[in-house]
Chain A
Amino acid sequence: MKQDISALMDGELFEDEAENLLGRLTSDSAVHKNWSVYHLIGDVLRQPEHIHSDLSAKVRERLQDEPTVLAPRARAVKQNIRTYALSAAASLSAIGVVAWMSLQISPEVAPQMAMQHIALRPVSMHTRTNSNDYMIAHQEFSPSMDMNGDASYIRTVSYSRDEVVLQNNPSEKQPR
């Protein structure tokens, strides 16, 4: 049970188990206490310089005076699409629109992919000092990419051959 609380708060509990546990969490105060102390531990580890007492009791007291909120089960009903489409010209003054997505996929790779179609640029000579490889490898771990989410590929959308080679030649394991 406690182990399930631990997994649930990390977002690592399976759907059905999670549903059950959520039910108990909201009704059983002992279970809630564990949720509470486990979160306190995480908070202390992350922000030891700012730890205050548990406000949930005070909030709960005040909520007793609040009318119970009820919202229609809106999940099935999609809300208004908030499309704020602005023309590119309007929002970006000086910049003209040019090309993107330097998807470099070398023709030697896999018959799966018809390279003639997809290769954008002439395939480079692939000397070892081809900067692109290093730039991709570097940007996988760059923190400023975190903000752009997985659009880390906005910088170098060179799809590396490495990945495909590994995939298609499982016997060709790299030496460790």
Chain B
Amino acid sequence: MTDREVDQQLVERVQRGDKHAFDLLVTKYQRKLGRLISRFVRNPSEAEDVTQEAFIKAYRALPSFRGESAFYTWLYRIGINTAKNHLLANKRRAPTSTLFDSEDSESFETASLLREVNTPENELMSKQVVDVVQASLQQLPEDLRSALTLREIEGLSYEEIAIVMNCPIGTVRSRIFRAREAVAENLRPLLETSKGKRW
């Protein structure tokens, strides 16, 4: 089952009433969509809100998704529209850098200031996650590291990797899995902490 088929299957399950299937799509595309949206919405926590909003919109629009385009490009478009609408709606609000110019609307300020205070913690966690993944990657035996890199970064199929690494496809599958598990083992303790649970 190809990647596109998997998405299509998940979409159909959602369309048949299975909300959990939508979770899987969110997990899969959230950071890719998040990065896209952050192009338009500079404030990181706002961007996360907008990303969530985009997923909700996508969920509501799913009955009209017919699979003519790939799911991600459809989601992508919704992401852009949501981001743009957000910017338009907030046009009259000063951009964050001038927030502290005005001393009016204190309640609004308080709310967004609270979010701002959270951000460094998120930054730290994010950095820790990245560090653990990258360090784990370096520790992997060469063949596992190559297989994972060729798959995740170069985007090669198992067959292509088998040709490049000159080994059977079954070996490719196994190496990629073992590489993922090795990195995941190092990540899980971090994710199990109270702060990590949100990751």
Contacts and interface: CB of A to CB of B under 8 A. Distances in A.
Contacts of A27: 20
Contacts of B188: 37
Given A10-B176, A11-B3, A70-B63, A37 B191 contact: yes
Interface in A37-78: 37-48, 50-60, 62-63, 66, 68-71, 73-75
Interface in A105-154: none
Contact of B34 (A52, A70, A79): A52
Interface in B1-45: 1-6, 9-10, 12-24, 26-28, 30-32, 34-35, 38, 44
A71 B129 contact: no
Nearest to B35: A50
Contacts of B23: 26, 32, 56, 59-60
A10 B162 CA distance: 14
Which of A10, A46, A71, A75 counts the most chain B CB atoms within 10 A?
A10
Interface stretch (A14-22, A91-99, A161-169): A14-22
Contact of B130 (A13, A36, A44): A44
B153 A46 contact: yes
Nearest to A58: B52
A45 B14 CA distance: 29
Contact of A46 (B122, B152, B177): B152
A176 to B, nearest CB: 12
B76 interface: no
Given A22-B10, A38-B180, A45 B137 contact: yes
Given A45-B152, A71-B63, A54 B30 contact: yes
* A contact patch SS: helix
Interface residues of A, number: 56
Nearest to B28: A39
A59 B1 contact: no
B91 interface: no
Nearest to A68: B17
Contacts of A57: 198
B57 to A, nearest CB: 11
A63 B30 contact: no
A12 B173 contact: yes
Interface of B: 1-6, 9-10, 12-24, 26-28, 30-32, 34-35, 38, 44, 48, 51-52, 55-56, 59-60, 62-64, 66-68, 122, 125-126, 129-130, 133-134, 137, 148-149, 151-153, 157-158, 173-174, 176-177, 180-181, 183-184, 187-188, 191, 198-199
12 contacts: A6-B177, A10-B151, A11-B2, A26-B23, A32-B24, A35-B28, A45-B149, A53-B122, A54-B27, A56-B23, A66-B56, A66-B60
Closest 3 CB pairs of A and B: A11-B3, A18-B1, A71-B63
Interface of A: 2-3, 6-15, 18-19, 22, 25-27, 32, 34-48, 50-60, 62-63, 66, 68-71, 73-75, 79
